[in-house]
Amino acid sequence: MSLVLENITKKVGRETHLYNINLEFETGSRNVLLGHTLAGKTSLLRLMAGLDRPTSGRVLVSGEDVTGKSVRKRSVAMVYQQFINYPSLTVYKNIASPLKIARVKKGEIDRRVRRTAEMLHIEEMLDRLPAELSGGQQQRVAIARALIGDAELLLLDEPLVNLDYKLREELRVELHDIFEERKAIVVYTTTEPTEALMLGGNIAVIDEGRVLQTGLTPEVYHNPATTKVAEVCSDPPINFLKGTIKGGAVRMGWNIEMPLEHHMKSLMDGDYMFGVRSNHLSLSRNDKEDVEIPAKVELAEINGSETFIHADYDGLRLVVQENGVRLVRIGAEITIYVSPSSFFVYDEAGALVASPSREAVEGKLT
């Protein structure tokens, strides 16, 4: 099966929610729609499901136009942000419900309910009611119900957003493995770049109702085509510094200078935007060619494995990511170090003109 969205536009009242969307999905593919809240991800999923009709454009399933066809007549399953289950039915009956509606035989239903429940580690809870489960378990039930029917199109709308981070971490890994085994088209929306990367597959970066970039997820992450894509694909936020290239040198901010080396060598003189992700900023010097940026600490956010230091540089907020727990005093004057080789360079229109080389990373371990 294939799913094609062709010139899809969606207007609600006077507002346009989706602008001329063109996307293609193949059977067995994992696809992530990445974008901020209100980017249009849910609107897009609802059109794919057949819950809503586009204002213009067509939805094609294996070449057939299904634009007006009701969701009931399509092979689709959907998981929502909120945990939606039948409150008066046991977990078993919740999971079994799509098969019951499809009039599958009892023995077959039983086999598949148990297998699916096992896959999601809720096999011990089949006799309970949803309300007796934790949030994480309730969402597992909803996911199990979506998986059991072998729908050709599996849509998940930020399914992990309401869960604790440890649960999220575990379910992400499990979902990745479950999706790999499915023949269905899986479309998964998220606001988190890390989640997108963890699921892998293809990505469509969406912002304000438009598709900004598509491709393999790691490819897009490592080569964000515009400053906007770089922003959506970075958490913590990517650091941007305005700068100028002139006479073989780069000048950024009010006092940062570096030679025009590495991936930037062939760039012409002019004004540019330089973007660098927080994990490439450091509080210690790693190389003699590192550039120094003086800044003042505003906050250190600690998640356990990493510390994100928010610092002010001339009215600009920079975020530095350090491994482990780093104690930094608010208000402290610090020096941030960054390698000239780690900047994305964008032209004045915000289009990518140079990405950091990945050669060193993709080489073999020695």
Partner 1 sequence: MARIELNEVVHSYLPKPKSESDYALKRIHNVWDDGGACALLGPSGCGKTTLLNIVSGLLTPSRGRVLYDGKDVTELPPEKRNIAQVFQFPVLYDTMSVFNNLAFPLRNRGLSEIKVKERVLEVAEILDLTPFLNKRAEGLAADAKQKISLGRGLVRSDVAAILFDEPLTVIDPQMKWYLRQKLKDIHEEFKLTFIYVTHDQVEALTFADQVAVMFEGEIVQIGSPQDLFENPEHRFVGYFIGSPGMNFLECTIEGNEARVDGAGIVLDEETAAKGRKASGKLELGIRPMYLEVHARSGDGMVKARVKGVEDLGSYRIVALMLEGQTLKARLPEDKPVPEGEVWLAFPPQWTKLFADGRLIS
Q: How far apart are the first and last CA of the chain?
A: 43
Between 89 and 302, name the residue whose CB sits nearer to partner 1: 302
Nearer to partner 1, 146 or 205 (CB): 205
Cβ neighbors of 14 (< 8 A, separation 6 or more) are: none
Cα 77 from chain centroid (whole Å): 20
Least distance to partner 1, CB of residue 362, Å: 7
Q: What are 131-139's contacts with CB under 8 Å, separation 24+?
A: 131/87, 133/91, 135/83, 135/162, 135/163, 135/164, 135/167, 136/163, 136/164, 136/167, 136/171, 138/83, 138/85, 139/79, 139/83, 139/163, 139/171
CB of 178 to partner 1, least distance (A): 15
102 or 330, CB closer to partner 1?
Answer: 330
For residue 324, the one-letter residue type is: G
Nearer to partner 1, 266 or 303 (CB): 303
18: exposed, middle or buried (Cβ count in 10 Å: 0-12, 13-18, 19+): buried
CB nearer to partner 1: give 77 or 276.
Answer: 276
**Least distance in Å: CB of 208 to partner 1?**
16
Q: Which residues would be at the binding site for partner 1 (CB under 8 A)?
A: 134-135, 164-166, 169, 191, 193-194, 197-198, 200, 218, 221, 277-279, 298-305, 310, 321, 323-325, 327, 330, 360-366
- To partner 1, the closest distance from the beta carbon of 287 in angstroms equals 11
β-sheet bridge partners, residue 338? 281, 291
Contact yes or no for 210/33 (Cβ under 8 A): no
Of 165 and 254, nearer to partner 1 (C-beta) is 165
3-state SS assignment for residue 135: helix
- Give min distance, CB of 67 to partner 1, in A: 35
* Min separation Cβ 218 and partner 1, Å: 5
